[in-house]
Structure 1
Amino acid sequence: MANYTLAPDGDDYDVLIEGDLNNSDTEQCPQYDANVLLAQLVPQLYTTVFLVGLLDNSLAVLILVKYKRLQYVENIYLLNLGVSNLCFLLTLPFWAHAASHGGILGHPMCTILVTMSSVGLHGEAFFNALLTLQSYLVLFHGRKFASAAKKVSCGIIVSVLAWGTGVLVTLPELLFHSSHAGTQQYRCFLSRPHFLPGEGSSWELSLTLKANLVVLLLPLLVLIVCFALFMRMRKTQRSRDRKCDLVKLVSAIMVVFLLMWGPYNITLFLSTFKKSFSLSDCRSSYNVDRSVQVTRVIASIHCCVNPLLYVLLDEEFRKHLCRLCRRCGDTPPRPPVGPAHDTPWEEREHSTHM
């Protein structure tokens, strides 16, 4: 009888070890808490980016409309690029407010903000690609391309098509994002509409592939092809520096766009396909999830960078900006000396100005 009573004690001891091991496994794999960075950094950073970006992008749009008068296709694309930045910028105060309150968003606001951000981002990618193509076409074909490049109607039609494509590409975000109640709060989540087949995770994979294709691969491919043609042309014939001004400016805009949005799209791709890249272990998953959020915050700063590039690389933009500042200071502008500022592209050997 004494031996019999020892058996249950042994069984209890074995079960206790099993339970401890399971508990230790679950405690060793914590998930990344995005609310920590959101609450500490995002409200102040997004508010600053919004104020700076609203000022410099508004000035850029005003200079394009008031002084350049949208006489050429490249100026139309630059204007649409500024509008895309403003579209993305307008969402930042709401994201900052949501971050300071734990990421809480109602359903209509969630849908509107996600849609506006996506339309602005995709629009920027499209117009960067169009602006790059336009600048290289003017440089390569010279006066043969001048007649088509001068047609404002052509630029307007292409711009409308680009915005329409951006809206169509954004439809998945409009359909898949909604707010769900959790712990008596509403947060912005990715979900699958009831009328679409498949699991939610499969649609999340599709959205990640779409984002990488449109925002990263398309602009990168356009830049590589145009740059390769440019280097080939430089070897075969000498080109004056003034003819390369637009190419330099547009290339800088595209490179900065890719450098700031590229890391986010790459980390998002790795996060979505963790199992395929053997990143599903605890430590790797934690680091990848953290990298996605950090790179997203950094990429969001890009919407206020383009006008700064105009000031640094475009002498004509600086002249118009000084002219605008003098008018705002109630100082009568000096009469222009020499050739007019708005000399057509083709008459300047297709030199680049805003």
Structure 2
Amino acid sequence: MSCSETPMANSSQVAFNTSYLCQMSTTSVVLPVIYTLMFLTGLPGNAISLWVFMKNISTKTSTHIYLINLGISNLILCLTMPFLAAYYAFGSKWPKNNTMCQIAISGLTPVLHINICIGVMILSWVALSRFASLIQHSHANRPSRWLKVLPGAFLNRKQQTRLAYALCLVTWIIVGLGVIPFVVLYSIRETVNVEEDRNQVCYSLEVEVGGAGSHIFAFVAISLFFVFFLLVLSSYLAVIRHIWRSKKSATISDRQRVYAKVFRNIVIIKLVLVVCLLPHHIYKAIFVKMVNEQLLSKSLPRDTCHPLSVQVEVKNVLLCLATLRCSTDPIMYFLLDRTFRKHTNRLLRVRPSAHERHSSKSYGGQASQATVDL
């Protein structure tokens, strides 16, 4: 179920309609279970995270603003999980004109892809914000060249908060304006069968594959992902070089150790991002190519499994992996952010460990001084 997976030329609709998608237990049983578990864990986790960030942390830094927007996006996606579970469990039985099928086509698709795009962009802004904070406090013999490249708003602590609000607003507007038109095209034109079959089910090739407009959106989405991915990768390589140069200086301050710890935490977050989102976008490009090749093939015999059935299942599994981050983000906040962990423990009435109390006393001053959030 995607408006961004692959093209389908109008002349090839008949060829696609001669066979049907065979659904295996991977998508009919495993995916509904996973999406249900993601709903049960992600909904309370993101709700508590938003409560802590918005109500308990009075002084909000730019990173808090980014994570609040990320949490809102994750919470909206978590609310769709029961519908996603129902689609994969019963989609092969629902008629195409069924209300639940239409909700899946017109409602779930934009939420899925808006969340993925929002996640990639906001995590990239977090990375650049942390990168700017690191290189400003240089302990190397000469300042980083990135100080001349990054916009001044990233480097000015007073402007970082306003910049975070602006970037989040622009991100929501750009993603919304980019995704919604293609979803409208997908739901109105691309999922409609030329030879409409009254018995056609919701879990069909038209719904899972899309059309020519989806091809354009897929190309744009894949390109944007790799632009942001390379941007973050280059900034991390620059941070590694910066920290290595800083270690060569005669004095290594406590603040430098704090920033090194922040960098390690960001790396952990980005590793999760790579594991969740990179396979989805790589396979999306491969899937587009496979469908284009399939369009050139001859008509298929009726009442047989379509050759793309397995590839569609792989696509859906990797899409599930891409959305898994929405339920794991609160866990990362708790493990990596001391301020978030402290307020969450207080909210849940959990007493901090002795190590937590000692760590808070030892590094509280440096962390607040360096505006460390992750």
TM-score normalized by structure 2? 0.70
In structure 2, what is the equivalent of residue 316 of structure 1?
Answer: 339
The code of the aligned residue for 2:165 comes to I
In structure 2, what is the equivalent of residue 56 of structure 1?
Answer: 45
The code of the aligned residue for 1:137 comes to A
Cα distance in 2 between the residues matched to 1:147 and 1:70? 17
Closer, same or farther: CA 160–344 of 1 in aligned 2, 3 Å: farther
Closer, same or farther: CA 263–109 of 1 in aligned 2, 3 Å: closer
Cα distance in 1 between the residues matched to 2:216 and 2:113? 15
Q: CA deviation at 1:95?
A: 1.2
In structure 2, what is the equivalent of residue 46 of structure 1?
Answer: 35
Residue deviations 1:49-74, cap 9 Å, x none? 11101111112111111232352111
In structure 1, what is the equivalent of residue 81 of structure 2?
Answer: 92
Q: In 1, are the aligned partners of 2:116 and 2:322 still within 8 Å (CA)?
A: no
The code of the aligned residue for 1:211 comes to A
Cα distance in 2 between the residues matched to 1:151 and 1:262? 28
Closer, same or farther: CA 222–69 of 1 in aligned 2, 3 Å: farther
* Residue 213 of structure 1 pairs with residue 223 of structure 2: yes
Q: In 2, are the aligned partners of 1:177 and 1:188 still within 8 Å (CA)?
A: no
Cα distance in 1 between the residues matched to 2:345 and 2:42? 19
Residue deviations 1:55-108, cap 9 Å, x none? 111121111112323521111001111112112222111111222222543435
Aligned pair count reads 310
Q: CA deviation at 1:279?
A: 12
Cα distance in 1 between the residues matched to 2:56 and 2:218? 40
Closer, same or farther: CA 248–183 of 1 in aligned 2, 3 Å: farther
Q: In 1, are the aligned partners of 2:49 and 2:330 still within 8 Å (CA)?
A: yes
Q: In 2, are the aligned partners of 1:50 and 1:90 still within 8 Å (CA)?
A: yes
In structure 1, what is the equivalent of residue 284 of structure 2?
Answer: 268
Cα distance in 2 between the residues matched to 1:187 and 1:285? 16
* Residue 353 of structure 1 pairs with residue 373 of structure 2: yes
In structure 1, what is the equivalent of residue 14 of structure 2?
Answer: none
The RMSD of aligned alpha carbons is: 3.7
| Secondary structure in 1 matching 2:202 | strand
| Secondary structure in 2 matching 1:273 | helix
Closer, same or farther: CA 280–58 of 1 in aligned 2, 3 Å: farther
| Secondary structure in 2 matching 1:187 | coil
The code of the aligned residue for 1:95 comes to L
| Secondary structure in 2 matching 1:33 | coil
* Residue 138 of structure 1 pairs with residue 133 of structure 2: yes
Closer, same or farther: CA 36–177 of 1 in aligned 2, 3 Å: farther
Cα distance in 2 between the residues matched to 1:182 and 1:246? 57
Closer, same or farther: CA 348–63 of 1 in aligned 2, 3 Å: same
TM-score normalized by structure 1? 0.74
Query: Percent identical across equivalent pairs?
Result: 20
Which piece of structure 1 moves more, 53-62 or 281-290? 281-290
Q: 2:123 aligns with which of 94, 117, 128?
A: 128
Q: 2:262 aligns with which of 246, 249, 267?
A: 246
Question: For structure 2, which runs of at least 5 residues remain unmatched after alignment?
Answer: 1-18, 95-99, 139-146, 148-153, 298-304, 352-356
Closer, same or farther: CA 207–67 of 1 in aligned 2, 3 Å: same
Residue deviations 1:186-238, cap 9 Å, x none? 6377979xxxxxxx743332222122123x31331122111111122122213
* Residue 115 of structure 1 pairs with residue 97 of structure 2: no
Q: In 2, are the aligned partners of 1:46 and 1:92 still within 8 Å (CA)?
A: yes
In structure 2, what is the equivalent of residue 13 of structure 1?
Answer: none
Cα distance in 1 between the residues matched to 2:282 and 2:172? 25
